[in-house]
């Protein structure tokens, strides 16, 4: 495959953004990415806009963002892969370069979730699976999906709610060091344990928040990338997979098969033999605390049932065997659904360029970063490896 | 619906000006069920039916009218259960808007001896969560709108988890 690199990255502040509409919110990251790449809008050949929408005002965000950001009349499309939408937008932009149809392409991730009341959001995200059989009839919610996995995982591996809480404690710690994060404050195990149940056994502080935010990356072919920057961040591999819409069609509830499949493909493309050895830093999809634990196993950081020990030993903190979510993760940085995957890419770029704040900058030895972006509950999975070489 | 002539209000937390949309969108879908109509016939009779491909004998639940393996639409209809094993369970506290009026409810995935699984409500007494591995029975009841709906119940009356 043609080599493709990220040559520019930008991100908005995540949170409840009553100060910016969809287009203005997108512009914050688009302008930062253009600035970072040192290019102008006219240089872009194609741009994708990852956005799930419905809870926000614009139905054709790709064109409204394009108009606001001065990208019109460049070719575009809106991309959807639930919570993995951002990574899907990157795939589309990367493929457009790999095919030779573009030399410079932008992937924008955007979500404005606070446009409607919370119960409406719960309603809409609850439909993110099989609408008729699991939502219409029974009222399964999005936390409910992951809670089902948590119940089975905890029963099989004798994990405790306190173990799940350790993930929240870590990610809030790193959120407290990230000025772009929605929650820039630490939480204690006690605070997590005494927060209210959302869907048993998951509590409010096991859950990522509702978030507004945007992120943008600019991708280039090899020749263009080397002309624009001394520190291109190459996409070394990207594995994609899907899972059944109905949770009742899953083989078990302790692992996301789509993550496993996507990781295998990405590792094979990037030549990763031992992920813990070969990868310097990872951002994984911690929409709920249980999701981060399953990710440790699905991505091969540890064997089955060993994720709890990894977090208990603090091996996913900076300086540990494999630092995970040093930006605060979805849990504390926030989870603007369509922007999350692009936000992960921005974090990978900053980490690899050693531009993260010192307190949360990973030790970059091999020059390899991983992002793991799940849509729904393993309905989609995108695992991407970024590298300096 | 905001009836004030001025559609701009201040956000309670941030004080930022917000334009309150004057257009409201309501959605109610019409979903064709012709290919799985025997399922609804069964439900009315108190039976939960899966579709079974007449050629390769693959069992489908939720039922579907076509077999993607054989690329044919020739289905038998077979009754599931009555017993199923609980594989995963949750209790939903924060509910979607359209379920807001309901009491907190328990949902679980049950696996039938035939190998297929179903997600459904668990109608279990007591406030303790049913344990993974619990044997359950599938049954047909009525939802709040008097429509037949399948649920999981304890295998025998009174055999469920003791209250705490
Ligand atoms: Zn068949």
Helix (H, G, I), strand (E, B), or coil: what is residue B8? Answer: strand
CB contact residues (below 8 A), chain B span 12-31, against chain A:
13-14, 16, 18, 21, 31
Whole-number Å distance between alpha carbons of A258 and A274: 20
Whole-number Å distance between alpha carbons of A67 and A23: 9
| Portion of chain A with pLDDT greater than 70, in percent | 100
Q: Which of A316, A335, A324 is nearest to A376 (CA)?
A: A335
Residues of B in contact with A156 (CB under 8 A): 132
pLDDT, tens digit, 9 for 90 and up, residues A148-160: 999 999 999 999 9
Is residue A186 a part of any domain in this protein?
no
Q: Report pTM.
A: 0.96
Pick the residue of B23, B107, B129 with the most A CBs within 10 A to test the interface with A by mutation. B107
Using left for φ > 0, alpha for ψ between -120 and 50, and beta otherwise, residue A366 falls in alpha
pLDDT attached to residue B2: 46
Mean pLDDT for the stretch of residues A233-255:
97
Which class is B81-164 in CATH?
A: mainly beta
Beta pairing, strands A368-375 & A281-283: parallel
Is residue A52 a part of any domain in this protein?
yes
- The yes-or-no answer on residue A335 being catalytic is yes
Q: The tokens of A301 are what?
A: 């950081």
pLDDT attached to residue B143: 84
Residue A247 class from Cβ within 10 Å (0-12 exposed, 13-18 middle, 19+ buried)? buried
pLDDT attached to residue B158: 52
Pick the residue of B119, B141, B152 with the most A CBs within 10 A to test the interface with A by mutation. B119
pLDDT bin (cut points 50, 70, 90) of residue B164 is very low
pLDDT bin (cut points 50, 70, 90) of residue B157 is low
Rounded to a whole number, what is the distance in Å from the CA of A157 to chain B's nearest CA?
12
Is residue A244 a part of any domain in this protein?
no
pLDDT, tens digit, 9 for 90 and up, residues A36-57: 999 999 999 999 999 999 999 9
Is residue A85 a part of any domain in this protein?
yes
pLDDT bin (cut points 50, 70, 90) of residue A323 is very high
pLDDT attached to residue A228: 98
Residues of A in contact with B14 (CB under 8 A): 16, 18-19
Residue A83: which H helix or E strand, with range?
A: none
Whole-number Å distance between alpha carbons of A47 and A29: 14
Is residue A386 a part of any domain in this protein?
no
Residues 6+ apart with CB under 8 A from A364: A280, A281, A351, A352, A354, A388
Mean pLDDT for the stretch of residues A283-295:
98
pLDDT, tens digit, 9 for 90 and up, residues A203-242: 999 999 999 999 999 999 999 999 999 999 999 999 999 9
pLDDT, tens digit, 9 for 90 and up, residues A162-210: 999 999 999 999 999 999 999 999 999 999 999 999 999 999 999 999 9
The ipTM (two decimal places) reads: 0.95
Q: Is the pLDDT of residue B20 over 80?
A: yes
Q: Is the pLDDT of residue B46 over 80?
A: yes
- What average pLDDT does chain A have? 97
Is residue A53 a part of any domain in this protein?
yes
Annotated catalytic residue: which of A172, A285, A335, A372? A335
Domain CATH code at residue A58: 3.40.47.10
Q: Closest residue of A to B108, CA-based?
A: A148
Range of the domain at A102: 4-116+210-228
Whole-number Å distance between alpha carbons of A359 and B100: 43
Q: Which of B6, B90, B16 is nearest to A288 (CA)?
A: B90
Provide the number of structural domains found in chain A.
1
pLDDT bin (cut points 50, 70, 90) of residue A307 is very high
pLDDT, tens digit, 9 for 90 and up, residues B90-102: 999 999 989 999 9
Mean pLDDT for the stretch of residues B108-117:
96
Burial A193-227 (b: 16+ CB within 10 A, else e): bebebbbbbbbbbbbbbbbbbbbbbbbbbeebbee
Domain with CATH 2.40.50 in chain B: 81-164
Q: Closest residue of B to A136, CA-based?
A: B98
pLDDT, tens digit, 9 for 90 and up, residues A103-135: 999 999 999 999 899 889 988 998 888 999 999
Helices and strands per DSSP (H, E), number in chain B: 1, 10
Q: Which of A291, A269, A287, A267 is nearest to A277 (CA)?
A: A267
Is residue A27 a part of any domain in this protein?
yes
Rounded to a whole number, what is the distance in Å from the CA of A292 to chain B's nearest CA?
18
Cα of A103 vs centre of ligand 1, distance in Å, is: 46
pLDDT, tens digit, 9 for 90 and up, residues A140-149: 999 999 999 9
Is residue A214 a part of any domain in this protein?
yes
Cα of B71 vs centre of ligand 1, distance in Å, is: 7
């Amino acid at each position: 495959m043609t080599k493709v690199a990220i040559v520019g990255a930008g991100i908005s502040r995540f949170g409840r953004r009553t100060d910016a509409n969809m287009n203005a919110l997108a512009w914050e990251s688009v302008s930062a990415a253009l600035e970072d790449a040192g290019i102008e809008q006219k240089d872009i050949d194609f741009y994708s806009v990852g956005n799930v929408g419905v809870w926000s005002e614009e139905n054709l965000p790709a064109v409204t963002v394009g108009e606001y950001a001065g990208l019109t009349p460049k070719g575009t499309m809106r991309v959807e892969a639930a919570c993995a939408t951002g990574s899907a937008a990157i795939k589309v932009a990367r493929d457009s370069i790999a095919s030779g149809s573009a030399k410079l392409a932008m992937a924008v991730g955007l979500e404005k979730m606070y446009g409607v009341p919370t119960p409406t959001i719960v309603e809409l995200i609850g439909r993110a699976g099989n609408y008729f059989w699991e939502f219409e009839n029974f009222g399964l919610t999005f936390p409910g999906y992951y809670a089902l996995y948590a119940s089975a995982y905890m029963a099989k591996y004798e994990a405790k709610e306190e173990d799940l809480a350790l993930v929240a404690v870590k990610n809030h710690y790193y959120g407290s060091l990230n000025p772009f994060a929605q929650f820039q404050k630490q939480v204690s195990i006690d605070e997590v344990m005494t927060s209210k149940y959302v869907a048993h056994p998951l509590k409010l502080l096991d859950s990522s928040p509702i978030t507004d935010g945007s992120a943008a990356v600019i991708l280039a072919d090899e020749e263009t990338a080397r002309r624009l920057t001394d520190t291109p961040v190459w996409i070394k591999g990207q594995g994609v997979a899907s899972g059944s819409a109905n949770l009742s069609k899953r083989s078990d509830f302790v692992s996301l098969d789509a993550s496993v499949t996507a990781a295998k493909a990405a590792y094979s493309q990037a030549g990763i033999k031992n992920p813990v050895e070969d990868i310097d830093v990872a951002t994984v999809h911690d929409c709920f605390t249980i999701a981060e634990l399953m990710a440790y196993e699905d991505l091969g950081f540890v064997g089955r049932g060993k994720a709890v020990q990894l977090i208990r030993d603090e091996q996913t903190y900076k300086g540990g065997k494999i630092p995970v979510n040093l930006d605060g993760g979805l849990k504390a940085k926030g989870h603007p659904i369509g922007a999350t995957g692009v936000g992960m890419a921005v974090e990978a770029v900053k980490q690899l360029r050693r531009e993260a704040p010192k307190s949360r900058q990973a030790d970059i030895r091999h020059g390899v970063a991983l992002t793991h972006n799940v849509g729904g509950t393993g309905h989609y999975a995108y695992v991407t490896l970024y590298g300096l070489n | 619906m905001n009836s004030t002539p001025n559609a701009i209000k201040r956000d309670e937390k941030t004080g930022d000006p917000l334009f309150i949309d004057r257009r409201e969108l309501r959605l109610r879908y019409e979903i064709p069920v012709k290919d799985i109509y025997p399922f609804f016939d069964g439900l009315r009779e108190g039976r939960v039916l899966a579709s079974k491909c007449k050629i390769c004998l693959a069992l489908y639940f939720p039922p579907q009218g076509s077999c993607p393996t054989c690329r044919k639409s020739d289905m038998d209809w077979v009754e599931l259960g009555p017993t199923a094993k609980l594989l995963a369970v949750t209790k939903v506290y924060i509910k979607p808007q359209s379920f807001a009026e309901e009491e907190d409810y328990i949902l679980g995935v049950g696996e039938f001896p035939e190998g297929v699984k179903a997600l459904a409500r668990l109608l279990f007494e007591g406030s303790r969560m049913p344990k993974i591995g619990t044997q359950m029975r599938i049954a047909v009841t009525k939802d709040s709108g008097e429509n037949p709906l399948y649920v999981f119940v304890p295998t025998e009356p009174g055999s469920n988890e003791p209250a705490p």
